[in-house]
Amino acid sequence: MSDEPKNRSRAWIGWALVSILALYFLSAGPAFRLWSEGYISSRIVNGVYAPLDWAYDHSAAVQPIIDRYMRIWAPSDP
């Protein structure tokens, strides 16, 4: 038997994991915007995005990336 089916399934799992993590990160911006406009509570945002907040607090390399992305979603002042 060939190892090709096993390799494909492992690759699929890897791509799925990378996609889920990317979507998690990208969803933080809209969640921040909804929180800042009062549509969702801070308890929900703090609970769901606690790992992202931890990464921000503990990694100097991650901070500028998150800062730039969150500025895109920050509400504009009229």
The model carries a pTM of: 0.77
Examine the pLDDT at 2 and tell me if it is beyond 60. Answer: no
| Out of 4-8, 38-42, 51-55, 71-75, least confident range | 4-8
pLDDT band for 41, please (50, 70, 90 cuts): very high
Per DSSP, helices labelled H in 1-78 are 4-36, 42-48, 50-58, 63-73
Give the Cβ contact number of residue 49 at 10 Å.
Answer: 19
63-73 helix and 4-36 helix, angle to the nearest 10 degrees: 60
pLDDT at residue 66 greater than cutoff 70? yes
- What pLDDT, on a 0 to 100 scale, did the predictor assign at position 50? 96
> What is the average per-residue pLDDT within 64-74?
94
